[in-house]
Amino acid sequence: MKIAVVYNRDSQAVINLFGQQNQEKIGLAVIRSIEDALRAGGHQSLAVEGDKDLISKLEDFMPRVVKGERPGMVFNVSYGIQGQARYTHVPSILEMVGIPYVASGPLAHSIALDKVVTKMVLVQHGLPTPGFAVLMEPGFDIPDLAYPLIVKPKNEAVSFGIKVVNSDDELRAAADVIFERFQQPVLVEQFVEGREVNVGLLGNGPAEALPPVELDFAGGPTVYSLDDKRGKSGREVTLRCPADLGPELTERAQDLARKTFAAVGCADCARVDFRLDAAGQFHILEINSLPAMGPRGSYVRAAKEAGLEFPDLVNRLVEVASARYFGTPQPPTIGPGTEDTPTAIFSFLTQRRDRLERRLREWTSRPSRTHDPIGLQHAVRLLSKTCTELGLRPVEDLTDERSVHTWQTRAGLDGGTLLVTHLDVPLAESMPVQAFRRGPEWLLGDGVATSRGPLVVAEYALRAVRHLRLLAKRRIGLLTYLDEGNDARYSRDLLRKAMGRASRVIVLRPGGVGGHVYSQRRGQRRYRLQIEGKPRRPGRRMRAPEPLVWAAQKVVEVTALTSAVQSGAVSVSDLRTESFPMLLPHRVVGTLLMTYRDADLADQLEASIRECLGSRGPKWELERVSERPPLGDRRASRRLLDELRRAAESWEIPVKGESSAWPSVAGLAPAETAVLCGLGPEATHLYTPDEAVERTSLLQRTLMLASLLSASDGAE
């Protein structure tokens, strides 16, 4: 792989020089050591200053990859040149131009560099940090904190401007120096007497905590000053690794470090600094999102204690960043005309990884929520255009303009594979529409997981099969329905009919994080409950119970019918009242949701609900408004799951067959049909503004589906 080591040291190649200049310098020897380590790891390496010419330099070094290659990467050790949040400058440029890199992104660096924001994040997550105050300008009121205190610039690193103070006069003098020199607010923090310990972190999801390091100040002031770090203090601060903490404190420090890493949103590497007081309590001072790679630094020392010599550490950082971005192993070298089918699919799709994400952005920018008929019409037109490009033909008897659209290959659908997805985004109209957003690991946006991600997986899997000149020969159908947000109430009949014509059905609902797909799902029934009484004035006593009070009592009884043993549950999803002015509610309308394992259990639960409501009290009506049958365990589905696992083995993609309590249309398939659900991208925070799909899984799921479709169409 081509890896550029991007740093800041000598260059001031900017359009204008002004503002706060960077005072952190990385040693040339460290840069050379990183380059040597990368070359020893088999990579091509180039050291580049992170200035205004960075993009053109990277373009020269790492042009667009050829088939079978991974994109290049940046090993980022850049502190920036000038201005605010300097650590974020190079990562922001790399994000903009689409080059992967080692270490945290701009957001995490911004938080870590702002000591006040960091402490606010720590407090919000319940993590221990010393008490603090912020001084905005000279002439400040003395904060209500006990001496000794330590003062620091709000937005600097490597101990710039820090000083311990013991009186109001010392505090004002130290703060004035920071105001004048750094032109920024001052952080005043409770100084914790005790031992200074730090913990390095390496990796992601979760990060691995390295052995703790203790700073030995040899009896002098227990503050690691800038002069100490530069070797100008006249004393030697030594590192003890592993720190003499004992197993319990070591585990506690490492756990706090991991939680801090996650709370700030760091990636690949970081170092968390602590104070350990006399009572054995840790206090988090800060997190360094770009730990020093110098040979005397505690991060390198801890890695060595963990068994990673410097070249091993450098290449391990490349590996964890590669896993975060790519998630799939590097493909073998391919010669002309020698590609087997899995390799050809891999080459086709990995070269179009950016296109998958652009397509996902395009789909996400076209809102089509369940109750938006205009948006749904536009979505149908876009999908119809795509299907025409792929050579798919409409299936008239499986198409209903209101709720279902179906296409098939030239070979037809009957006896083959039916792909099922939906065009509507099943979110409430009141929920604000979320724009597409991309992070290092997650893609977010309106319906990105529930609808848009599966659509992109289906499209590009079909494009890959077409690239192999196999699509017209395979029996494949693509059905999309428009009423997922209405429990497929209008599409269910055509869904049943279409599924009955296929030998296997793949429902492209979101997958679970960790490689989960679903061969079993519970069923769901939705009921409308209406309770009617007579209007009454507040305080008036009547023999008949108030409808709302009666409804509340019955809700408790009905939800108590839930049985973990029988895998059946009854829940109340909403309860609304109607009343006349100045009178108590006379009508209560609610929605009951029942999830169940099989139809007999559902019938028993429904009978129990009616029995709970009884014959006494206000009048009530219970109406079943929708039903999604369960997807039970099927031998044919297990065989299809095994086939999917074999397809995924080529790229070491995890596939875990699971059972889900969430319903889907998969249960509409005939009992003899092989069905898999959840082959869409792995997702989190479904049906919320934070809905997201895992970036790597967008490619992984497309690879698996394309391999499955190219190998067989399911026909006997």
Asked if residue 632 lies in contact with residue 598, where contact means CB atoms within 8 angstroms, the answer is yes
Nearest to 212 by CA among 294, 272, 278: 272
**What per-residue confidence (pLDDT) applies to 696?**
84
Domain range 111-308, its CATH number among 3.40.190.10, 3.30.470.20, 2.40.110.20, 3.40.50.300 = 3.30.470.20
For residue 712, the 8-state DSSP code is -
* Tens of pLDDT, residues 326-355: 874 443 332 334 457 888 898 788 767 768
Q: Give the number of C-alpha atoms closer than 13 A to the C-alpha of residue 479, restricted to the C-beta side.
A: 35
* Tens of pLDDT, residues 660-684: 988 999 999 999 999 999 999 999 9
Note the CATH number of domain 530-616.
3.30.70.360
**Per-residue tokens: 485:** 């947000």
Asked if residue 93 lies in contact with residue 35, where contact means CB atoms within 8 angstroms, the answer is no
**What are residue 209's DSSP bridge partners?**
201
Nearest to 467 by CA among 403, 390, 526, 556: 390
For residue 215, the 8-state DSSP code is E
Sign of the Cα pseudo-torsion (347, 353, 355, 356, in order): positive
Alpha carbon 308 to its chain's center? 29
Q: What is the pTM of this model?
A: 0.58
* Tens of pLDDT, residues 460-507: 999 999 999 999 999 999 999 999 999 999 999 999 999 999 999 999
* Tens of pLDDT, residues 574-627: 999 999 999 999 999 999 999 999 999 999 999 999 999 988 889 999 999 999
Spatial distance between the Cα atoms of 483 and 424, rounded to a whole number of angstroms: 6
Give me the CATH topology for the region 343-521+632-711. Answer: Aminopeptidase (3.40.630)
Low-confidence ranges of the chain (pLDDT < 70): 11, 15, 19-20, 22-23, 63-70, 157-160, 219-222, 224-235, 328-339, 351, 354, 440, 564-565, 714-716
**What per-residue confidence (pLDDT) applies to 70?**
67
H-run or E-run covering 285: strand 282-288
**What per-residue confidence (pLDDT) applies to 230?**
53
**What per-residue confidence (pLDDT) applies to 90?**
93
Strand ranges in 314-410 using DSSP code E only, listed in sequence order: 393-394, 404-408
What is the residue-wise DSSP string for 11-75?
Answer: ---SS---SSBP-----HHHHHHHHHHHHHTT-EEEEEE-STTHHHHHHHHSPSPPTTPPP-EEE
Spatial distance between the Cα atoms of 690 and 669, rounded to a whole number of angstroms: 31
H runs (alpha helix) in 435-479: 453-467
Alpha carbon 446 to its chain's center? 14
Spatial distance between the Cα atoms of 464 and 708, rounded to a whole number of angstroms: 11
**What per-residue confidence (pLDDT) applies to 338?**
45
Burial of 617 (0-12, 13-18, 19+ CB in 10 A): middle
